[in-house]
């Protein structure tokens, strides 16, 4: 949410010192490991478990965890919660990741354009960024989600449409500070096109902060998806997502608390992991600033 002022660096971000620092960041490593496990479980889980995530069995509804082979219990329609959780993980992680890619793309484009061009284009773009940022983000998300037909694609677009601003700010600040540097001036004198300078010369120098912001955006996007789906505006049943598994769980909080606790824990683990990774990357890449 804040403009992150990055130290401009000439060296490439993937030099061994950076990699070394990242590997020494225990939390980041932990995050990587957890994400790896989670991803693996979501990819393989549905094949290993004895139940289909969509199979309804009304006789087996509300089975608590560890009933027979229902290791995480069943939901109000008697579907296996573990199978649904991993299936949901695929959806939620995919939505989070795609939303990150899309919003980073938009944010980078806007940021580069605004930072390099400056002038009225830059001002207009950055004021628009400010405008988007002064909304309680939930408004835009809910309104857009209500306006569009819900599907994983649409949810991705909605989340991306409301989370590109931070990347834009970061990139804009970075590019603005790089614009007047010698190598850019040199490029200009050599007669290189604006596009070339923007994307080939300046952008690679801003990659560090972008990666950090992108990682944190994944975390944010997963949270967003969860909240939209929790309110019923997001991923539609029978396709499970961590968020829509929580939808309705409040109703059964007294009688079947595992319905609320398990998916929520999954979200927390995934989001925490991405935040850990982001933090590690920030230290490793020596990007100053904070995420919020």
Partner 1 sequence: MRGFLLNRLSQSLVLLLIVSVIGFVVLNLIPGGPLAQFGLDPSMTQDDLNRLKEQLGLNRPLWMQYLDWAWRLVQGDWGHSFRDGAPVLDVIGRHLVATLLLMGSSTVIAIAVGTWIGIRGATHRYSVFDYLATVGAMVALSIPTFWFGLVGIYVFSLRLGWLPAGNMYTIGDGSVLNHIHHLIMPSIVLALVHVAIWSRYMRTATLDVISQEFVKTARAKGLSERRILMKHVVGNALLPMITLAGMQLPSVLTGALVTETVFTWPGMGRLFLDSLGYSDYPVVMGLLMFSAILVVLCNLIADIVVAIIDPRIRLS
Partner 2 sequence: MTKDSTTKSGYSRRDALRLMAAGGIACFAAPNLLGKPAFADTANPTGRVVVGLSQEPTVFHPLMAHIEVDDAVHFSLFDALFRIDPKGVLQPNLAAEVPTQQNGGISEDGLKWRVRLRDDVRWHDGEPFTAEDVKFTLELITNPNFRAWRTGGHSLVRDITVVSPTELTWRMEEAFAPYLSFLTETFMVPKHILEKEADPNAAAFNQAPVGTGAFKWAQRVAGDHLELVANPQYFGDGPYIERLVFKYIPDMTVLYTQFKSGDIDLTDQAYITADHYEEAKTLPGRVVTLVSGASVESIYLNLEKPQFKDPAVRKALYAAMDRKAIIDAIYYGVGTLTETFMPRTSYYYNPNLPAQEFNLDRARQILDEAGWVPGPDGIRAKDGVRLSFANSTTSGNNLREQVQQFLQQTFAEIGVEMTISNLPAAVMFGEFWLKSQFDSAIAGVTHLIAADPDATNRLATSAIAAKGGKGSNVGQYSNPEVDALLKKGAQTFDPEARREIYSRIQEIVREDLPFLPLFAATYVVGRKEGLEGWEPNSNTRTASWHAAGWRWQS
Q: What is the CA radius of gyration of the chain?
A: 22
Both structure tokens of 228:
């939209």
Which of partner 1, partner 2, none interacts with 268 (beta carbon under 5 to 8 A by kind)?
partner 1
Q: Which stretch binds partner 2 (CB under 8 A): 13-21, 163-171, 190-198, 248-256?
A: 248-256
1 near partner 1, judged by CB under 8 A: yes
Sole window of 88-96, 98-106, 141-149, 167-175 interacting with partner 1 (rule: CB under 8 A): 141-149
Instruction: Select from 76, 118, 264, 289 the one that contacts partner 2 (CB under 8 A).
Output: 76
Q: In three state form, how does the secondary structure of the chain look?
A: CCCCCCCCCCCCCCCHHHHHHHHHCHHHHHHHHHHHHHHHHHHHHHHHCCCCCCCCCHHHCCCCCCECCECCCECCCCCEHHHHHHHHHHHHHHHHHHHHHHHHHHHHHHHHHHHHHCHHHHHHHHHHHHHHHCCCHHHHHHHHHHHCCCCHHHHHHHHHHCCCHHHHHHHHHHHHHHHCCHHHHHHHHCCCCHHHHHHHHHHHHHHHHHHHHHHHHHHHHHHHHHHHHHCCCCCCCCCCCHHHHHCCHHHHCCCCCHHHHHHHHHHHHHHHHHHHHHHHHHHHHCCCCCCC
* Residue 36 binding target from partner 1, partner 2, none, CB below 5 to 8 Å by type: none
> If binding means CB under 8 A, how many residues of this protein chain bind partner 2?
23
Question: Is 173 in contact with 5 (CB distance < 8 Å)?
Answer: yes
Q: Which listed range, 111-119, 144-152, 172-180, 191-199, lies at the site for partner 2 (CB under 8 A)?
A: 144-152
Whole-number Cα distances in Å, 94 to 18, 37, 43, 218, 237 = 28, 15, 11, 10, 17
Nearer to partner 1, 186 or 265 (CB): 265
Residue keyed to tokens 């290189």 = 192
16, 47, 58, 136: residue in contact with partner 2 (rule CB under 8 A) = 58
- In the bound complex, what is the minimum distance in angstroms from residue 74's beta carbon to partner 2? 13
CA distance linking residue 243 with residue 235, whole number of Å: 8
Cβ at position 75, least distance to partner 1 in Å: 16
Q: Of these, 23, 146, 153, 186, which contacts partner 1 (CB under 8 A)?
A: 146
- For partner 2, the closer of residues 36 and 138 by Cβ is 138
Shortest Cβ distance from residue 223 to partner 2 (Å)? 19
Binders of partner 2 among residues 146 to 175 (CB under 8 A) are 146, 149-150
Name the residue among 253, 207, 224, 274 with its Cα closest to residue 99: 224
Size of the site for partner 1 (CB under 8 A): 46
CA distances from 107 to 38, 166, 206 (A): 28, 7, 12
Which among partner 1, partner 2, none contacts residue 237 (Cβ within 5 to 8 A by kind)? partner 2
Residue 291: name its binding partner from partner 2, partner 1, none (Cβ under 5 to 8 Å by kind): partner 1
| Interaction partner, residue 39 (partner 1, partner 2, none; CB < 5-8 Å by kind) | none
Least Å distance, CB 266 to partner 2, is 20
Residues that bind partner 1 in the complex, under the rule CB under 8 A: 1-2, 27, 127-128, 130-140, 142-144, 146-147, 219, 223, 226-227, 230, 246, 249-250, 253-254, 257, 260-261, 264, 267-268, 271-272, 274-276, 279, 290-292
Residues that bind partner 2 in the complex, under the rule CB under 8 A: 54, 56, 58, 61, 76-77, 146, 149-150, 231-233, 236-238, 247-248, 250-255
């Amino acid at each position: 949410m804040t403009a992150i002022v990055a130290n401009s660096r000439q060296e490439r971000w993937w030099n061994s010192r950076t990699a070394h620092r990242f590997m020494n960041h225990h939390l980041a490593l932990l995050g990587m490991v957890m994400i790896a496990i989670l991803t693996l479980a979501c990819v393989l889980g549905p094949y290993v478990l004895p139940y289909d995530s969509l199979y309804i069995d009304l006789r087996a509804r509300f089975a608590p965890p560890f009933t027979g082979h229902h290791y995480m219990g069943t939901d109000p329609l008697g579907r296996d919660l573990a199978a649904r959780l991993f299936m949901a993980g695929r959806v939620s992680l995919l939505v989070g990741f795609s939303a990150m890619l899309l919003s980073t793309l938009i944010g980078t484009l806007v940021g580069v354009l605004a930072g390099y061009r400056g002038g009225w284009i830059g001002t207009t773009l950055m004021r628009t960024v400010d405008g988007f940022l002064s909304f309680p983000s939930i408004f835009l998300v809910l309104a857009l989600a209500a306006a569009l037909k819900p599907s994983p694609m649409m949810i991705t677009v909605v989340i991306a449409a409301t989370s590109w601003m931070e990347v834009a700010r970061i990139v804009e600040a970075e590019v603005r500070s790089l614009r007047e540097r010698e190598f850019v001036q040199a490029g200009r004198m050599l007669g290189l096109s604006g596009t070339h300078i923007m994307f080939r010369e300046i952008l690679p120098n801003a990659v560090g902060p972008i990666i950090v912001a992108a990682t944190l955006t994944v975390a944010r996007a997963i949270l967003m998806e969860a909240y939209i789906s929790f309110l019923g505006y997001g991923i539609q049943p029978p396709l499970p997502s961590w968020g829509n598994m929580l939808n309705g769980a409040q109703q059964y909080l007294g009688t079947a608390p595992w319905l609320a606790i398990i998916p929520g824990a999954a979200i927390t683990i995934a989001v925490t992991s991405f935040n850990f990774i982001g933090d590690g990357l920030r230290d490793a890449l020596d990007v100053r600033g904070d995420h919020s």
